[in-house]
Structure 1
Amino acid sequence: MAIPLAATVVLACLTGCSSADRVPGEHPLPTVVPSAAPSASSSAAPSASSSAAPSAFSSAVPRHDAALPDDVPTVAAPVRITVDRVGIDQPVRPEGVDATGEMALPSDPAVAGWYRYGAGPASGTGSTVIAAHVDAVGYGIGPFAHLVDVPAGTPITLTDAAGTTTQYAVTTVSLLRKTGVPWPSIFDRDGPRRLVLVTCGGDFDTTTHHYLSNLVVTATPTN
């Protein structure tokens, strides 16, 4: 995997999915279910990659400078995520960061993005981060809108480019204000092996066309 030659880059936060002027589901989301997510320090490193509008981010949220690692191991990319309980079965494609220094996402909510400078399903440590828009103008509501309905213990399956499947079980579902999301922990490359799914949720600001919160689902491998 090629790494751009640069001393520092901006590690961005998933901060605000653009959307139509409606909130999918229109029902309350949980604050935390059922236990705290693992905490770890961040060492993820993005690269230059772009994605079409709408943007998933807001410059109002602080960003963190992150030094590029000396070595980013090559791992098989996840290509599909399945959560049978809520009908999620969608492709996943690798993403880096866009021209503004923020994690890029596929513009279509039916396609999820994997943070390719972080861990993958076969990695021994760190977070495999997969994110998607909850909805988007011109596309409608995406599959990740259903993550609000997953309870602890829900099975999740990731299939990678090598055809290997990794099974996970949901441990936490948290709705967090965008200014309070622990991004260093979410993008951690050295802590416990886990899957982190991120989308938008909560109240919708019709002025900025951004959601005010992120829905963060963590899951631990079972195989």
Structure 2
Amino acid sequence: MAVPLAAVVVLACLTGCSSADRVPGGRSLSTDGASSAPAAPVPVAPSPAPSAFSSAVPLRDAALPAEVPAVVAPVRIAVPSLGIDQAVRPEGVDPTGAMALPADPAVAGWWRFGSTPSSTSGSTVLAAHVDAVGYGIGPFAHLVDVPVGTRVTVTSADGTTTPYAVATVDLLAKTGVPWASVFDHDGPRRLVLVTCGGEFDTATHHYRSNLVVTATPL
């Protein structure tokens, strides 16, 4: 899941998982030329800054199945033991071809082209910024300390609640996240929570890792 950065730091901080004050997972929530004549300067395009999730969403066949089941979107996620209780809204693809996220870290995004809690297979992906300038620390920052077995509840638009238990908690370098598995449609039914974490890169104003929490239905 990627979130693009603009060239300027302020917008970069607003759109990325960034903070100079706190680092979840780090426990600090705070040419050489032959001619003698001077060569004319050669314009060099700026290098793009790394995105918050570092990977485009895996591509799939766009053909629709014979029957398209009704989609009941998740609208809220709660982890009572960590004080997490936040709204969830559907998100699609951003201009870079990666999953978009709400700007406010207090709101999680649901990958609306994937599975839902009522699906019989695949992962329901919920993601949020860990923090953002102008908003502060988001609830998903607490996931860095979530113990295996912790209960997570997702409420859907029809009022149905689906309980899960945390199975795995992985802090992975952004370039090492198995995104095809995160966005899986066909594997076992599960919930996947994603945010940023690890060390904070002051040059790019992004965290260097993603925290990926997987939970299985109870």
TM bin, normalised by shorter chain, reads 0.7 to 0.9
Q: For residue 68 of structure 1, what is the aligned residue in structure 2?
A: 62
- In structure 1, give the amino acid aligned to 2:77: I
**Could you tell me whether the CA contact under 8 Å between 1:23 and 1:203 is conserved in 2?**
no
Q: Which has the larger radius of gyration?
A: 2
Offset from partner CA, 1:116-137 (integer Å, 9 cap, x none): 0000000000000000000011
Structure 1 unmatched runs, 5+: 1-12, 29-54
**Could you tell me whether the CA contact under 8 Å between 1:56 and 1:133 is conserved in 2?**
no
What TM-score do the two structures reach when normalised by structure 1?
0.76
Structure 2 unmatched runs, 5+: 5-15, 29-48
Alignment of 1:35-114 (within 5 A): 57=51, 61=55, 64-71=58-65, 73-114=69-110
Shift of 1:100: 2.0
Alpha-carbon distance between aligned partners in 2 of 1:197 and 1:119, rounded to the nearest angstrom: 13
Bigger strand fraction:
1
3-state SS of paired residue (1:67): coil
3-state SS of paired residue (1:185): helix
What TM-score do the two structures reach when normalised by structure 2?
0.78
Alpha-carbon distance between aligned partners in 2 of 1:59 and 1:123, rounded to the nearest angstrom: 25
Alignment of 1:186-201 (within 5 A): 186-201=182-197
RMSD: 2.3
3-state SS of paired residue (1:22): coil
Distance 1:15 1:201, change over 3 A: farther
How many residues are paired up?
A: 184
- In structure 2, give the amino acid aligned to 1:68: A
Distance 1:69 1:115, change over 3 A: farther
Alpha-carbon distance between aligned partners in 1 of 2:58 and 2:196, rounded to the nearest angstrom: 20
Identity value in percent: 64
